[in-house]
Every structure is written in C-alpha cells, then in structure tokens.
Structure 1
C-alpha cells in the first residue's frame, strides 16, 4: 500500500506539476509523483502528507481522493525464484501550503521539481505519473484510470 499526491499549480505562462525523481534499485532514475509506502498502522492521508514533506520540503494539504491504482508485477529474484508483487497506490490531489522546495537526502528520491504539465510527456518517468495526471484531469466515478 502506498499513497501519492498530484500537486498542480498555475505558474507564469504554464500549469506545473510537482514531481520527484525516484532512484530504482538498479540505480536508474525516473520521475514520479511525491509519495510512497505506508508504514504499518499509518493512515494513507498521513502517509501522503509525510511523503510530500520528506521528498520535497513542502507541507501539503490534501484536497480529495482522485483514485486508486492496482498493479501486479512479476519479476526475477535471486536463485531463480520470482516475486509476485501486488500494490495498491492511493492517489490524492493536494496543494502546497507551506515550506521551501528542497531535495530529499539519503532517501528513495534525489530531486524534487515543478515541471510544466505539457512537458511531462518528454520526461523519463514511471507510469504512475501518467495515471495520476489522468485521474486529476478526468475524475473518474470509480477512481480508476482508463489505461
């Protein structure tokens, strides 16, 4: 279980989205939404607010739930075994209320930045970014992206 936040703002000349750059276990780096895994017993709203603060330096206020994404992954593990991963990603819309943008140190991300929404298609990003943007734009009744 994980919780993520779509933060969009109007800036001079562009609509921008807040993204963080995730460091994959293999060392690769791709842009993602601020957020991450829930701690045992932690409320998903608290997770989302905490993760935004950890990864960006900002305090976020959540506006609403915009969707839930369910993913399944099967990938190789050592000794020829395979992991069967199932994840639920809760996606909120949020707005920044305080703080100063900064990068996370010694965490799962290394950069935080605002990007023009129209330029996101050109970024090396995880699929969750596109899912979050679609949820934010369409507000589907069942909270699920069409993809």
Structure 2
C-alpha cells in the first residue's frame, strides 16, 4: 500500500468573540463545510510562512502569528484512483494562533474554499464543520502543555 504524508498549517483567528472560518465543498459534491483557514505546505516552505500565505489566499487577511497552539495527526486509508490502489494517508496539522494585521475580507478565487466569514464562537457547534475546527478551538481554549487535543470524530459535521 502506498503511503502519503501531508503537512499543513492552520490558524485560529478570533476577534470580538468571533472566529474566522472558510467554507469548502464536501468531497463528493454533497454540500459545504466550514474549515479552519490554512492548508498544505509547499516543499521547502516553513510552516509559519505556509499559514500566513494560506490565510491571505483564503480570506484576504494578512496575519501575524501570535502563538503555536499544537499539533493534530490523523491517519486514514483512502481508496486509490485507477490502478494505483488504496493509500495509507497521514495528515500532520500544525495549529497556530494569529491576529489580523492587514488586508480585507474576501473570498478565495479558484481555490479549495469559496467563502470566508466570521462566526460567533457560540454558533460554531451548529455549523457543518470539519473536526479540525473543534480540535483547534479546544487547543485555543485549553492550551494543553503537550499541544494535543482529543475531540471525538462524531463532533464534526453536526451542523
């Protein structure tokens, strides 16, 4: 079985009890889900540069990274395409805290997301969202010394 490692960097940006999220199509075309702004590292790129670049691409904002909140690792066997067979996929997600220092809110064009918006923190549980949103908020709220937060898989996509 082929193995694939994807490293990505994301940011929790909270202002006035509102969190900045981006909306992404659900794989398979069955709707949308809210995601934490961020994305995959390019080869040779520093993770901090990744999160700053991705936030600008997905939301229009320039951010300053104000802290490292933690890491999340996930592993799944994904079906392969064509003759390539299944893939043992591991995702390593680096979660930062950031604050807006410039730019203007806008939607990503021709990217992985189609909408960027601020959401009341209290309204997040009602959103259709990926599990990483819950993990990142737990890291942001609790600041665990080991940089890890467990959120049950059923917590996502509840909205």
Q: TM-score, normalising length from structure 2?
A: 0.86
2:79 match: 76
Shift of 1:114: 0.1
Shift of 1:46: 0.2
1:55 match: 58
SS at match of 1:130: helix
SS at match of 1:54: helix
Write 1 or 2 for the structure with the bigger share of strand: 1
Structure 2 alignment gaps of length 5 or more: 1-6, 152-159
2:68 match: 65
Question: Is 2:101 the counterpart of 1:97?
Answer: yes
1:122 match: 126
Question: Is 2:33 the counterpart of 1:30?
Answer: yes
Regions of 4+ moved over 4 Å: none
Cα deviation 1:20-79 (Å, max 9, x = unaligned): 012244234210100000000000000000000000000000001000000001122235
Structure 1 alignment gaps of length 5 or more: none
SS at match of 2:123: helix
Using the alignment, how far apart are the partners of 1:79 and 1:37 within structure 2? 24
Query: Which moved further from structure 2: 70-79 or 99-108?
Result: 70-79
User: What is the alpha-carbon root mean square deviation over aligned residues?
Assistant: 1.2
Using the alignment, how far apart are the partners of 2:27 and 2:113 within structure 1? 11
Question: Is 2:15 the counterpart of 1:9?
Answer: yes
Task: Kindly report which structure 2 residues correspond to 1:101-112, keeping only aligned pairs within 5 A, or say none.
Answer: 101-112=105-116
2:155 match: none
Q: TM-score, normalising length from structure 1?
A: 0.93
1:21 match: 23
